[in-house]
Amino acid sequence: MARFKAEMPTELMKVFSDLEDNIEDIFGEMTQAGAKVVHQNVVRNMKKSFKNTESLEKGLKITRVYKTPSDDGINTHIGFYGYDGVPTKKYPKGVPIPLKALAREYGTSRGEAKKPYFRKSFKKDEIEDAMLKIQEKRIGDG
């Protein structure tokens, strides 16, 4: 009967072990890098589309890395948060910044034309390049 015996180098076993221990941190860094690319693109596109972008820029945030409970995915969001302007009866904290962002992105029923800037900011190649740079930095060639 034929026999086969193989031994893995201890260095390779250590690399796999370290990779398993740090995988969430690596994926977190990768999603953060992708989110930063999108953030830069959104700011650039807003400046091209609008005269005054101060209120939208102050509300544009990148969330911290989190893990979804349903599928254990590692995520980072970019979105608009907060309030802007003078409090009114309808908006006691001021106008919600996400409302302004949506009105400019998709238009309004009152006649403001849509001016897409957010959807145009998700450029798959740029995001993947940023994420791959982090992967190569953290994992290396082995």
Digits of tens for pLDDT over the chain (142 positions)?
788 787 767 777 777 777 777 888 889 999 999 999 999 999 999 988 888 888 889 999 999 999 999 998 999 999 999 998 889 999 999 999 999 899 888 988 888 888 899 999 999 999 999 999 998 888 775 4
Q: Are 30 and 70 in contact (CB under 8 A)?
A: no
74 forms beta bridges with 67
Q: Residue 81's pLDDT is what?
A: 95
Q: Residue 141's pLDDT is what?
A: 54
Query: Domain spans of the chain?
Result: 22-80+117-139
Q: Which residue type is seen at 106?
A: Y
Question: Both tokens of residue 6?
Answer: 């193989």
Residue 126: burial class (beta carbons within 10 Å; 0-12, 13-18, 19+): middle
Go through the chain and tell me how many residues it has.
142
Q: Residue 128's pLDDT is what?
A: 95
